[in-house]
């Protein structure tokens, strides 16, 4: 499941509540602690909580109580700035073409 697909499972308006932790996607819909996709005002369903829960104790034991419904797909390769490689290459090509026209 992609991050965009996961975002649809935010627990609001009757939708299921899914969260990703360490690459696994868990269904937390039935937990009373995740009412309307919000965990006690601290976390919102529909996203990857790996970083937010990194220092939380017993994360694995707690999450194993919930059904696993999928795996979170890795983001596409990027240049490190968050810009996809294809977009970066297109930008470079445009600059080269503009410079070529200015020189000629």
In whole angstroms, what is the distance from residue 94 CA to residue 86 CA?
12
State residue 99's pLDDT score. Answer: 79
| Burial 42-79, CB ≥16 within 10 A → b, else e | ebbbbbbbeeebeeeeeeeeebeebeeebebeeeeeee
- pLDDT per residue over 16-60, tens digit each? 999 999 999 999 999 999 999 999 888 999 999 999 888 888 888
Rounded mean pLDDT of 72-86?
65
In whole angstroms, what is the distance from residue 10 CA to residue 17 CA?
5
CATH superfamily, region 3-73: Cytochrome b5-like heme/steroid binding domain (3.10.120.10)
pLDDT above 60: residue 79:
no
- pLDDT per residue over 52-76, tens digit each? 888 888 888 889 999 999 999 986 5
Domain ranges within the chain, ordered by starting residue:
3-73, 77-104
pTM (predicted TM-score) = 0.69
């Amino acid at each position: 499941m992609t991050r965009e697909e996961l975002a649809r499972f935010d627990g609001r308006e009757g939708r299921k509540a899914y969260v990703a932790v360490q690459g696994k996607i868990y269904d937390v819909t039935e937990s009373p602690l995740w009412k309307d996709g919000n965990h006690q005002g601290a976390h919102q369903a529909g996203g990857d909580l790996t970083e937010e829960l990194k220092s939380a104790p017993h994360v694995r034991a707690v999450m194993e109580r919930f059904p696993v419904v999928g795996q979170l797909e890795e983001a596409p390769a990027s240049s490190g700035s968050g810009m996809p490689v294809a977009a970066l290459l297109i930008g470079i090509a445009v600059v080269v073409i503009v410079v070529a026209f200015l020189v000629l």
